[in-house]
Amino acid sequence: MEPYVIYIGFFSGFCTTIAFVPQAYKVWKTKSTKDISLLMFVVFTTGIVGWLIYGILSDNLPIIIANIITFFLALLILIAKIKFD
């Protein structure tokens, strides 16, 4: 694989992962998840696990790293949704 392809993967993973940081911060700061759909977040988190497994099986480091971090952030929001609602 060309190096620029890996850089694109890392950049894209960074952007999609970092997008969750403000939401996770807001949820934990306000303890409010009333506007977040539980079903959507369960499906989303399941998809993240699927991407993580895919990344591991295909030995794709950008996908692995991005989805480990995104899984952690989504899990925090999911736990908050269950706990605070």
Which among 83, 84, 82, 76 has a CA at the least distance from the CA of 25? 76
| Contact status, residue 16 vs residue 72, Cβ threshold 8 Å | no
CA dist 48 and 74 (Å) reads 9
pLDDT tens per residue, range 5-55: 999 999 999 999 999 899 889 998 999 998 889 999 899 999 999 999 999
Give the pTM.
0.85
